[in-house]
């Protein structure tokens, strides 16, 4: 035990130890101060910084998608709505053996291998407590069957989200448009914040051009989330503002009639209300079912639609550009009268052809042996080409251009329907700029009968026709009559918008042209006289037949020998009643043959339907129909319990 | 004798040290209740561990210091043998083989070694004159490094560090000349590349992560980033008990074990931390005082080394959590949830108390 006892030796050791102990104490103190220094640095000097980081950790913003506005026709018939689509969803962390679960679920619900694959693919991108869809688009029967058996499947639930639905199917697809998944290009264009939580966006038609009105404003929840992202509680909720319900100017019944009239033909019909510019019907045939796009179209079907030679996704009414053919004659004739061209007040001898002085080329009339002596009225009624060759030549292309453009040819009408085509009203300046070529007199001739370079869209034709009907008042064609706020019920009207009117020096010229157009239908020799049978009102119109295929000088047009694709387009423009026009129509039947045979009867059908329908209100009835109120007040009662925000 | 003195004297307990340990344990339970998400079971289990620890402390405090002295070589030998047995008989957990099972009892021999190394080195050095001569320093160093090498192989870097520190503290307190200390520090620094070579990938990553946590924010850097956010956002006063968003919402990993300090810093702020550090400092200084008061060289060296090792625990843990030291798996002593090191720590305090309460009144 010697080392334990104290000696003088050990008192020296004791001193040495004490010094070391003091040294250790000092080092301990210094190291502690180092720690304190670090903590002061973190907790005092960088406190603000770390507070921000900690807040960012904790609080997440979860978007709540707004309910898209509904679309109605002018009378309140639903064209586009939101329907719940049910899907079977699984919370991975609540399921022990997914394979066994799927096997058991298959007893009541059909789950394909593809569904299973999609589930495991989605699983990889989700967190363990997030719902992963196992089967999409459950049928009502399947939902019911699952609900009864729900207790057997913990961690499995039916989720609902709203998808766009077009109850009338193809009807008015080109006008109403459709929604589809937001693509990359659109993502760059839209305000991403506003579309968080929304997966679809308007692609065409009103759905696209009134996207701002229909979309609404995104809501959000500030939630407290833990490190795994699980939402623990909602700190703050800002409800989304649902999109506005839109009432179109279109009349679904008239649209239906027009579509039926066109039947299987390719072509377009546009019906306008002349005094307001309201689009009453807008048909482009063929169409397609917009529900395909809203529900997620498969690649095959989409390709087929895109590649179809009939181009069902192409809106012929605003994007189809056709030679107007003889339907241009009333406008050219009016220009001649107004410009005081002697020829417009005189007559022509029509032998069935016209030859420019000093040239050999014969410009033919559609009637082989000619119309004989005709004035302006007869030239319009019988659609004499020779008369208009001479008139065009006398007037010159530039004056003709001036009048054609004042009716809106070669210019966009400004309809709010996205990507409208301009058409073409040719002039010397245009040809010099576009083609760097001089203008030839022969081109003036054929422009006078609506051939050559001149191109119009059916909408332009209808709009120009409406301008004759109103005697020069022009209104911008419009498709939406009013927007109704689904929450407050506030109505916002889109007022008719006038554009530069056509003022004639001699206003009686309107009546001369209109009288001639009336003769087209009601006259003994009118080209559209076949449609006047039993007419209860007076109808003014003009036929047109546009060449697709140029017949050589020594040949004759024979429809039987030509491929249908090379047949003439049949056109007809009309308005009625002549005295107080309520409707103006343009019809184009692609490769339909003559305007009188293919197009005029369709115009009559449409106008009959519109004027003969006593239930049609003269103007749009204000207020919102009962159906709209129930269907879109932000959260339908049936859905409120089951809809949860779908991220992405 | 006064009755009050008589109680603690008879119990062989040092009241100030006991007070410090109790305060810390209570602080720890309070923090754990919040860190564990108000899990009462967790707190109860920790309290039971603490109670067992106190039992050990009281029991060991009854043992007279001369017994420690005479048992030191055999205890040391037993420790080394147990360490050697680990690779052969040990159980593997979390990629490291540290555990030995004897019947129902499972323990880590490396914990045992934390006590036997300072015992042995203090025994060895106190048998000769102080300050120790060169060869005695070398041999003392070897006595330390042998178990350290065995622990590193498990691998358990944190414990190895503590074992090495406990031996080194004995050498330091024994008065080893400064030139030796400098030489030792230099050779330790020279060993760093060698150590790097022997490190496991995860250990290397921890060191790299310390240098730049943002490099791997979701991997190894995540711990450090979230811990510093927790500490920093706590500020001066803290967010309040149960209100630490970093800890309550699960952003902070291992928040009831190694990273419990971050919870305290977040919820109680700098003020709470200063209280905690004061308690630790109080225990360390009381321990050093006891060491100075010890009546034998052996006792002085042993007590000093034990409390300094205790401080290393504190320093390394807080340094790691606050981002100035690499992530080494060391708990915050007496506060972190977990049992193994707690018993060792309490046993250490038992030895220190025994040394203090078994003093023989000196008659002059």
- Distance, in Å, from the CA atom of B239 to the CA atom of B267, rounded to the nearest integer, reads 5
Return the pLDDT at A481. 93
In this prediction, residues A167-192 reach a mean pLDDT of: 86
Residues 195-234 of A with CB under 8 A from B: 224-228, 232
Q: How far apart are CA B64 and CA B52, in angstroms?
A: 21
- What are φ and ψ of residue A280, in 5° steps? -85, -35
DSSP bridge partners of A424: A455
Structure tokens at A187: 């993502």
- Strands A245-248 and A267-273 come out as unpaired
Cβ of B235 within 8 Å of Cβ of A32? The answer is no
Inter-chain contact B245–A57, Cβ cutoff 8 Å?
Answer: yes
* Rounded-to-integer distance, Cα A362 and Cα A102, Å: 79
Q: What is the mean pLDDT of residues A592-619?
A: 79
The rounded distance, in Å, linking the Cα atoms of A85 and A82 is 9
Give the position of tokens 């699980």. A230
- Residue A282: the pLDDT is 95
CA angle B125, B127, B130 (to 5 degrees): 55
Q: How confident is the model at residue A642 (pLDDT cuts 50, 70, 90)?
A: very low
* Contact between A42 and B228 using a beta-carbon 8 Å cutoff: yes
Q: Strand, helix or coil at A528?
A: coil
pLDDT value of residue A617: 47
pLDDT of residue B211: 64
Q: Which of B292, B296, B362 sits opposite A21 (nearest CB)?
A: B292
Measured between alpha carbons, how far is B151 from B98 in angstroms, rounded to an integer? 8
The arrangement of strands across the sheet holding A583-589 comes to A278-285, A267-273, A583-589, A569-576, A540-546
Concatenated DSSP letters of A180-194: EE--HHHHHHS-GGG
* Residues near A265 by beta carbon (within 8 Å), at least 6 away in sequence: A285, A589, A590, A592, A598
Whole-number Å distance between alpha carbons of A429 and A116 = 64
Greater confidence (A461 vs A125) lies with A461
pLDDT for B86 beyond 80: yes
Q: Which CATH architecture has domain A315-471+507-612?
A: 3-Layer(aba) Sandwich (3.40)
Largest CA distance in chain B: 67
Q: What is the pLDDT of residue B2?
A: 46
Contacts of B230 in chain A (CB under 8 A): 54
Give whole-number Cα distances, B316 to A32, A35, A436, B158, B331, in Å: 11, 10, 85, 9, 9
Both tokens of B3, joined, read 């009755």
Show residues of chain A in contact with B131, CB under 8 Å: 16
> Looking at per-residue confidence, does A638 or A47 come out higher?
A47
Among candidates B173, B277, B324 on the partner chain, residue whose Cβ is nearest the Cβ of A21: B173
Query: Which chain B residue is nearest to residue A16, measuring alpha carbons?
Result: B175
Contact between A523 and A378 under an 8 Å Cβ cutoff? The reply is no
Does A419 score more than 50 pLDDT?
Answer: yes
From the list A593, A590, A530, A527, the residue with the least C-alpha distance to A560 is A593
Alpha-carbon distance of A628 to A619, in angstroms, equals 20
- The token pair at A101 is 């679960």
Question: Which comes out higher in pLDDT, residue A84 or A605?
Answer: A605
Closest partner CB to A35 (pick from B65, B69, B318): B318
Measured CA to CA, the distance from residue A297 to residue A305 in angstroms comes to 11
High-pLDDT (> 90) share of chain A, %: 38
Whole-Å CA distances, A409 to A339, A398, A402, A460, B87 = 18, 14, 10, 6, 94
Provide the β-strand partners of residue A83: A163
Q: CA B49, B52, B56: angle at the middle one, nearest 5?
A: 135
Q: Say how far residue B141 (Cα) sits from the centre of its chain.
A: 20
Q: Which ranges of B153-259 does DSSP label H, i.e. alpha helix? A: 157-173, 178-198, 201-211, 220-234, 245-248
Place of tokens 């929304």: A198
Nearest CA in chain A to B288: A21
**What stretches of A311-469 show up as alpha helix (H) in DSSP?**
316-319, 329-338, 342-345, 376-381, 385-395, 397-406, 428-435, 441-448, 458-469
Instruction: Evaluate whether A230 touches A254 at the Cβ level (below 8 Å).
Output: no
What pLDDT, on the 0 to 100 scale, is given for residue A631? 38
Please spell the DSSP secondary structure of B228-282, one letter per residue.
Answer: HHHHHHHTTT-S-TT--HHHHTT-STTTTTTTHHHHHHHHHHHHHHHHHHHHHHH
Query: How many helices (DSSP H) and strands (DSSP E) are in chain B?
Result: 14, 3
Contact B232 A47 (CB under 8 A): yes
Output the six-digit token pair for A546. 């546009």
Report DSSP letters for A530-544, one per residue. Answer: GGGTT-SS--EEEEE
* Rg of chain B taking only CA atoms, in angstroms: 21
Alpha-carbon dihedral B16, B17, B20, B22, rounded to 10 degrees: -110
At A116 the pLDDT is 84
CA distance B304 to A20: 10
Amino acid A273: pLDDT: 94
Radius of gyration of chain A (CA): 37
Residue the block writes with tokens 């310390």: B210
Q: What is the pLDDT of residue B10?
A: 75
Closest residue, chain A, to B292 (C-alpha) = A18
Q: State chain A's mean pLDDT as an integer.
A: 84
Of B87 and A513, which is predicted with more confidence?
A513
User: What are the residue ranges spanned by the domains of chain B?
Assistant: 1-62+203-296+311-364, 71-199
Q: How far apart, in whole angstroms, are the C-alpha atoms of residue B122 and residue B302? A: 6
Q: pLDDT at position A471, please? A: 92
**Would you say B99 and B51 are in contact if contact means Cβ atoms under 8 Å apart?**
no
* pLDDT bracket for residue B109 (50, 70, 90): confident
Distance CA A283, CA A274 (A): 18
| pLDDT of res. A124 | 72
Q: Which of B201, B245, B227 is nearest to B325 (CA)?
A: B227
Query: Does residue A7 carry a pLDDT above 60?
Result: no
pLDDT value of position B107: 80
Alpha carbon distance A606, A601 (integer Å): 9
| Catalytic (active-site) positions of A | 326
| pLDDT of amino acid A618 | 45
Higher-confidence position of B76 and A351: B76
> Quick one: what percent of chain B has pLDDT higher than 90?
47
DSSP class per residue in A292-354: HHHT---HHHHHHHHH-TT-TTS-HHHH--B--GGGGHHHHHHHHHHTT-HHHHSEEEE-SEE
- For A134-178, write each residue's pLDDT tens digit: 887 788 888 889 888 888 888 888 888 788 999 998 998 999 999
Query: What's the half-sphere exposure (Cβ side, CA atoms, 13 Å) at A542?
Result: 33
Higher local confidence (pLDDT), B2 or A344: A344
Q: Is the pLDDT of residue B214 over 80?
A: no
pLDDT band at A96 (very low <50, low <70, confident <90, very high): confident
A291-322 CB burial, b ≥16 within 10 A, e <16: bbbbbebeeeeeeebeeeeebbbbbbbbbbbb
Reported as a pLDDT band with limits 50, 70 and 90, residue B362 is low
Looking at residue A647, its pLDDT comes to: 35
Does residue A620 register a pLDDT over 50? no
More confident residue, B273 or A298: B273
Tell me whether residues B235 and A47 touch, CB distance under 8 A. Answer: yes
- Residue B231 CA to residue A46 CA, distance in Å, equals 10
Hey, what are A288's tokens?
A: 């397609």
Q: What is the mean pLDDT of residues A47-73?
A: 86
pLDDT at A62 over 90: no
Average pLDDT over residues A61-80: 89
Cα A347 to chain centroid distance, Å, stands at 47
Domain ranges of chain A: 315-471+507-612
Between A220 and A622, name the one with better pLDDT: A220
Closest CA to B314 of B341, B352, B290: B341
Judged by CB atoms closer than 8 Å, whether chains meet at A35 and B301 is answered as no
Whether B364 shows a pLDDT value over 60: the answer reads no
Among A10, A25, A42, the residue with its CB nearest the CB of B322 is A42
Residues 414-433 of A with CB under 8 A from B: none
- Residue A500's φ and ψ, nearest 5 degrees, are -35, 110
Distance CA B229, CA A52 (A): 9
pLDDT: which is higher, B327 or B86: B86
**Would you say residue B215 has pLDDT above 80?**
no
- Which stretch, A361-365, A395-399, B126-130, has highest mean pLDDT? A395-399
B92-B94-B99 Cα angle (round to 5): 35
Task: Specify the pLDDT at position A130.
Answer: 72
pLDDT single digits (tens) A210-230? 999 999 988 888 888 776 667
Comparison of pLDDT for A3 and B208, the residue scoring more: B208
Structure confidence at residue A211 (pLDDT):
93
* Confidence (pLDDT) at B124: 93
Task: Please tell me the predicted confidence (pLDDT) of residue A630.
Answer: 35
Between A4, A6, A50, which is nearest B233 by CB?
A50
Taking the CA of residue A16 and the nearest CA in chain B, the distance in Å comes to 6
Q: What's the pLDDT band for A558 if we cut at 50, 70, 90? A: low
CA distance B99 to B88: 11
Contact indicator for A145, A79 with CB cutoff of 8 Å: no
- Average pLDDT over chain B, rounded to an integer: 86
pLDDT above 90: residue B317: yes
With beta carbons less than 8 A apart as the criterion, state whether B344 and B49 touch.
Answer: no
Q: Which pLDDT does position A125 carry in this prediction? A: 65
Calculate the alpha carbon distances from B180 to A387, B145, B177, B304 in Å.
Answer: 123, 16, 5, 20
| Residue B220 pLDDT class (50, 70, 90 cuts) | low
B319 min Cα distance to partner chain A (Å): 7
Residue of A nearest to B286 (CA): A25
A498 touches chain B (CB under 8 A): no
The ipTM, to two decimals, is: 0.91
Interface test with B, best of A4, A6, A33, A52 (most B CBs within 10 A): A4
């Amino acid at each position: 035990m010697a080392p334990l006892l104290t000696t003088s030796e050990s008192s020296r050791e004791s001193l040495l130890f004490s010094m070391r102990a003091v040294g250790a104490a000092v080092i301990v103190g210094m190291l502690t101060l180092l720690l304190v220094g670090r903590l002061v640095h973190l907790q005092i000097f960088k406190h603000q910084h770390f507070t921000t980081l900690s807040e960012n950790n904790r609080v997440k913003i979860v978007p709540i998608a707004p309910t898209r506005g509904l679309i109605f026709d002018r009378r309140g018939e639903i064209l586009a709505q939101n329907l719940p689509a049910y899907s079977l969803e699984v919370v991975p962390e609540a399921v022990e053996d997914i394979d066994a679960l799927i096997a058991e679920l298959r007893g009541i619900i059909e789950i394909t291998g593809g569904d299973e694959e999609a589930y495991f693919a989605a699983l990889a991108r989700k967190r363990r407590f997030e719902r992963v869809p196992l089967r999409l688009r459950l049928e009502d029967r399947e939902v019911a069957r699952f609900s009864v058996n729900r207790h057997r499947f913990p961690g499995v639930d039916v989720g609902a989200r709203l998808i766009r639905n077009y109850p009338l199917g193809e009807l008015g697809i080109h006008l109403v448009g459709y929604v589809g998944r937001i693509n990359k290009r659109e993502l760059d264009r839209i305000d991403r914040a506003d579309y968080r939580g929304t997966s679809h966006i308007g692609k065409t038609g009103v759905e696209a051009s009134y996207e701002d009105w229909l979309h609404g404003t995104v809501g959000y929840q500030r939630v407290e989330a833990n490190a795994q992202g699980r939402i623990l509680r909602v700190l703050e909720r800002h409800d989304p503002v649902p999109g506005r319900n839109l009432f179109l100017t279109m009349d679904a019944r008239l649209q239906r009639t027009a579509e039926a009239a066109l039947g299987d033909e390719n072509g377009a019909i546009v019906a306008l209300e002349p005094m307001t510019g309201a689009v009453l019907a807008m048909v482009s045939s063929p169409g397609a079912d917009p529900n395909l796009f809203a529900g997620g179209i498969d690649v095959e079907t989409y390709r087929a639609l895109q590649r179809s030679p009939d181009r069902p996704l192409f809106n012929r009414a605003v994007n189809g550009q056709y030679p107007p053919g003889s339907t241009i004659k009333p406008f050219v004739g009016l220009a001649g009268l107004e410009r005081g061209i002697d020829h417009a007040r005189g007559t022509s001898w029509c032998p069935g052809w016209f030859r420019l002085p000093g040239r050999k080329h014969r410009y033919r009339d559609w009637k082989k042996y000619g119309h004989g002596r005709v004035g302006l009225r007869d030239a319009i009624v019988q659609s004499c080409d020779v008369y208009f060759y001479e008139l065009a030549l006398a007037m010159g292309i530039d004056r003709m251009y001036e009048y054609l453009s004042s009716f809106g040819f070669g210019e966009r009408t400004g309809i709010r329907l996205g990507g409208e085509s301009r058409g073409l009203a040719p002039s010397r300046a245009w040809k010099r700029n576009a083609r760097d070529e001089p203008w030839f007199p022969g081109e003036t001739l054929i422009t006078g009968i609506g051939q050559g370079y001149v191109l119009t869209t059916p909408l332009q034709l209808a709009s120009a026709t409406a301008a004759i009907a109103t005697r020069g008042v022009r209104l911008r064609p419009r498709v939406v009559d009013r927007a109704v706020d689904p929450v407050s019920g506030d109505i916002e009207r889109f007022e008719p918008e006038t554009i530069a009117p056509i003022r004639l020096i001699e206003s009686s010229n309107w009546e001369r042209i209109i009288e001639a157009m009336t003769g087209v239908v009601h006259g003994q020799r009118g080209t559209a006289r076949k449609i006047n049978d039993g007419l209860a009102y007076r109808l003014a119109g003009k036929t047109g037949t546009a060449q697709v295929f140029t017949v050589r000088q020594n040949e004759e047009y024979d429809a039987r020998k030509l491929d249908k694709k090379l047949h003439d387009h049949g056109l007809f423009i009309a308005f009625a009643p002549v005295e107080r026009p309520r409707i103006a129509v343009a019809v184009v039947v692609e490769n339909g043959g003559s305007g009188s045979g293919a197009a005029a009867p369709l115009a009559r059908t449409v106008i009959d339907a519109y004027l003969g329908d006593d239930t049609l209100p003269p103007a749009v009835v204000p207020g919102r129909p009962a159906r709209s109120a129930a269907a879109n007040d932000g959260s339908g009662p049936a859905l409120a319990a089951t809809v949860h925000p779908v991220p992405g | 004798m006064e009755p009050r003195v008589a109680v603690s004297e008879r119990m062989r307990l040092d009241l100030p040290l006991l007070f410090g340990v109790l305060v810390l344990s209570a602080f720890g339970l309070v923090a754990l209740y919040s860190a564990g998400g108000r899990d009462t079971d967790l707190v109860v289990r920790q309290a039971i561990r603490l109670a067992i620890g106190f039992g050990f402390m009281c029991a060991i405090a009854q043992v007279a210091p001369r017994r420690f002295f005479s048992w030191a070589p055999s205890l040391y030998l037993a420790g080394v043998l147990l360490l050697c047995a680990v690779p052969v008989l040990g159980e593997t957990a979390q990629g490291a083989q540290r555990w030995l099972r004897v019947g129902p009892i499972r323990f880590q021999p490396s914990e045992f070694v934390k006590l036997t190394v300072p015992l042995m080195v203090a025994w060895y050095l106190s048998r000769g004159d102080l300050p120790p001569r060169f060869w005695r320093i070398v041999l003392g160093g070897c006595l330390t490094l042998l178990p350290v090498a065995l622990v590193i192989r498990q691998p358990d870097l944190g414990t190895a560090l503590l074992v090495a520190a406990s031996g080194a503290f004995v050498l330091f307190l024994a008065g080893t000349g400064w030139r030796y200390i400098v030489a030792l520090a230099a050779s330790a620094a020279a060993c760093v590349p060698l150590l790097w070579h022997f490190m496991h990938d995860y250990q290397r990553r921890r060191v790299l992560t310390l240098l730049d946590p943002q490099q791997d924010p979701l991997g190894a850097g995540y711990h450090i980033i979230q811990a510093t956010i927790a500490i920093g956002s706590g500020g001066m006063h803290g967010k309040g008990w149960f209100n630490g968003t970093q800890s309550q919402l699960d952003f902070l990993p291992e928040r009831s074990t190694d990273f419990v300090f971050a919870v305290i810093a977040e919820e109680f702020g700098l003020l709470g931390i200063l209280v905690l550090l004061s308690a630790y400092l109080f225990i360390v200084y009381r321990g050093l005082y006891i060491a100075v008061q010890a009546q034998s060289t052996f006792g002085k060296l042993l007590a000093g080394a034990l409390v300094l090792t205790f401080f290393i625990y504190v320093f390394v843990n807080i340094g790691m959590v606050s981002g100035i030291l690499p992530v080494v798996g060391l708990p915050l002593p007496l506060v972190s949830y977990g049992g193994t090191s707690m018993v060792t720590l309490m046993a250490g305090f038992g030895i220190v108390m025994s040394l203090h309460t078994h003093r023989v009144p000196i008659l002059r």
